[in-house]
Amino acid sequence: MKPPSRGNRGMKNSKISLKCHKIVGGYGEGEALVSHEPICFYLTDPKTGIVREKDHELAGKNLANKVLVFPSGKASSVVQIDGLFKLASHNVAPKAMIVKDVETVLIVSAFLVKVPLVDRLEKDPFEIIHTGDFVEVDAEKSQVTVTKRDTK
Amino acid sequence: MYLTKEEERMCNGELGKGMQEAINLLIAIGDAYDAEKMIPISRAHAASSGQEGDLYFVELLADGGARCRVPTSTNPVYDIPFFHRLFEILKYEADVARRVMEAYKRVGAILSWSCIPYMAENIPLYGETVAFSESSATPYVNSVIGARTNREAAQSALAAGVIGKTPEYGLHFKENRKGTHLVKVEATLKDEFDYTLLGYYVGKQIGYGIPVLTGISKQPNTEELINFCAMSNVPGAISMFYMPRFTVEASTVEEAFQGDIPEDKISVTDHDLKQVYGELQTTSGKIDFVMLGCPHYTLKQVEEVAGLLQGKKIHDGVSFWVCTSATTKTLAEKTGYVDVIEMAGGHVVVDTCIDEPCWAVYTDKVGMTDSPKCAYYRRFKEVRLGRLEDCVETAVKGK
């Protein structure tokens, strides 16, 4: 599925701007993919970005080029970093990541592949952002902008 | 985060691209945890793995001219020429491993290739500020030695080794080192193997936290503590623990909790340990190989293997491996243990770990190990789990 381009939003265009806390800088935008469970990048298909972890909420979903919203990372440092690195080398890493609880391994993973990573949204990201919304993460300006899918 | 003049210069790239990458990573971590400043470290341990993500960062630093400012040891990869003689290794994989090992050398690391560097190559003292990655080394240096480290990734530890500093957050503060879970050990802990099961069980029950273990009647030995650290980080993330009286930082339960003893407690019975054992073992039948040394065996454990193999022969259908550090093997050779193991048909192998691609030949085989960690991350078809002496006995009998 192609994320809506920036020019597409408009019609009823209800945009929500939220302050956030920058961890890894940069800008990334795309369709939101929300997971309420922690994510291990090693348990995704490195060539496509499809989540392979059985019983995971996102099993079978594709995180390539999405803005990923999830509570935290999980698994050993080696596998987590290698997992995201492999996705990035196939150009199927997420465009940006919004998390609730950050830990060192996730920071290192995002830093290595230069994917913007933010936390501490001024509102609960799980209430504001839903899968399919269009999200712009401007880590440098500590700002997240959400365009609701149902307003188009 | 406050940066000194020199840190700012690093950040601007004035001290080279390698330093710049390293400090930028530390700043991202510091910002995430609201660290106010960087603090000096005396040593680091980078959990190198020989995988692509590892290669990317260490080459970035090495190519950018960075050199470690404090002693920085490395985790297992594998001895390429040694494995080339035995097994087929894909050229691509061997190239990645070779480049990783060369880059760590260029960056000035101690090429220990060991997951227990705190035993010989890179030993912190009580109270030292360090940056130790490797999920089993982090709790050992925090709890058994009483040095202070956060749960680092390989790259954050390497960056800290290169800069000689780490952001001040987490376990560098005393108030963050207080116990979170009270664990009453009712199980009988007879030997090192029981400590592997205890570690696994505690890690699984707690997930993330600082357990305080009571009810242990006898001083655990070094190997028992190493095993507890390694196994508790298989199903969990235990960066620190207390065994009051036996670990250094608190002599009482009250002290470990800094006065804040939780009402709930977790108990561990013989039955619980038996259940862990049952969960991890997938077969009790015939085996193709025995894999010991996850985490790396100490000299005492190598000696024990040699003692059990004295005058015996490993069964024809079984390969027998003991993984350890180059330092330990050198001493074991001098002392005569390696000869005994090799005479019996076994191998003592250095610089590597079961998690490395050099063992791909065992993908379809049945292995036996004394390590729940090795069993859990198994890269082979079926696994039998047993005490060191059971592993040796099975290797000799072939089943």
User: Is A1 inside a domain boundary?
Assistant: no
| Alpha-carbon distance A28 to nearest alpha carbon in chain B (angstroms) | 17
Substitution target from A40, A74, A107, A114 for chain B, most B beta carbons within 10 A = A107
Q: Which strand ranges, in their side-by-side order, compose the sheet holding A134-138? A: A15-19, A143-147, A134-138, A27-34, A67-70, A96-99, A117-119, A21-24
Q: What's the pLDDT score for residue A6?
A: 52
For residue A78, give the nearest of B31, B49, B56 by CB distance: B49
8 Å CB contact of A107 and B32: yes
CB atoms within 10 A of CB A32: 24
A17 close to B (CB below 8 A) = no
d(CA B294, CA B312): 24
Mind listing the pLDDT tens digit for each residue in A83-96? Answer: 999 999 999 999 99
Q: Does the beta carbon of B155 lie under 8 angstroms from any beta carbon of chain A? A: yes
Per-residue model confidence as pLDDT tens digits over A106-138:
999 999 999 999 999 999 999 999 999 999 999
Confidence (pTM): 0.93
| pLDDT at residue A5, as a whole number | 52
Chain B residue with CA closest to A81: the answer is B53
Model pLDDT, residue B390: 97
Identify whether A4 is part of a domain: no
Residue B2, pLDDT score: 97
pLDDT for B85: 87
Whether B49 sits inside 8 A of A82 (CB atoms) is: yes
Q: Report the pLDDT value the prediction gives residue A8, as an integer from 0 to 100.
A: 47
Is A26 within the bounds of a domain?
Answer: yes
A72 belongs to a structural domain: yes
Domain, as residue range, for A46: 13-151
- Tell me which residue has tokens 């005393």: B174
What CATH number is associated with residue A117?
3.50.30.10
What interhelical angle do B52-63 and A104-113 show, nearest 10?
70
Q: Does the active-site annotation cover A76?
A: yes
Q: What is the pLDDT of residue A10?
A: 45
- From the candidates A76, A77, A89, A109, which is the catalytic residue? A76
**Residue A95 near chain B (CB below 8 Å):** no
Q: Quick one: closest CA in A to B233, which residue?
A: A76
Instruction: Say what the pLDDT of residue A79 is.
Output: 79
A-chain CB neighbours of B51 within 8 Å are: 78, 82, 85
* A-B contacts at Cβ under 8 angstroms: 71
Is the CB of residue A24 less than 8 Å away from at least one CB of chain B? yes
Is A108 in Cβ contact with B29 (below 8 Å)?
A: yes
Q: Do B57 and A112 touch (CB under 8 A)?
A: yes
Asked if residue A128 belongs to a domain, the reply is: yes
**Residue-level pLDDT at A4:** 52
What is the CB neighbour count within 10 angstroms for residue A59? 12
Chain B residues close to A99, C-beta within 8 Å: none
Which ranges of chain B would DSSP assign to H, the alpha helix?
5-11, 17-32, 52-63, 80-86, 91-106, 137-139, 154-163, 192-206, 222-232, 253-256, 270-280, 299-309, 326-335, 337-343, 372-376, 388-397
State CA A121 to chain mean position distance. Answer: 13
A8 is a domain residue: no
Which member of A85, A89, A104 has the closest CB to residue B29?
A104
Answer yes or no: do A111 and B151 touch at CB < 8 A. no
Q: Is residue A3 part of a domain?
A: no
Q: Would you give per-residue pLDDT tens digits along chain B (399 residues)? A: 999 999 999 999 999 999 999 999 999 999 999 999 999 999 999 999 888 889 999 999 999 999 999 999 999 999 888 888 888 888 998 999 999 999 999 999 999 999 999 999 999 999 999 999 998 999 999 999 999 999 999 999 999 999 999 999 999 999 999 999 999 999 999 999 999 999 999 999 998 899 999 999 999 999 999 999 999 998 888 999 999 999 999 999 999 999 999 988 999 999 999 999 999 999 999 999 999 999 999 999 999 999 999 999 999 999 999 999 999 999 999 999 999 999 999 999 999 998 888 898 899 999 999 999 988 877 789 999 999 999 999 999 998
Would you say residue A140 has pLDDT above 90?
A: yes
Whether B25 and chain A come into contact, CB under 8 Å, resolves to yes
Question: Of B51, B52, B156, which is closest to A108 when you measure between CB atoms?
Answer: B156
Which residue's entry shows tokens 């000194």? B4
Number of domains forming the structure of chain A: 1
Question: What pLDDT does B216 receive?
Answer: 97
Q: Which of residues 109-148 of A touch B (CB under 8 A)?
A: 109, 111-112, 119
Distances (CA, A) of B87 to B81, B83, B98, B234: 10, 6, 16, 28
Asked, for residue A66, whether it belongs to a domain, the answer is: yes
Whether residues A119 and B32 touch (CB distance < 8 A) is answered with: yes
What is d(CA A55, CA B399) in angstroms, rounded to the nearest whole number?
A: 36
Which domains does chain B show, CATH number per domain? 5-172 (3.30.499.10), 178-278 (no CATH), 281-397 (3.30.499.10)
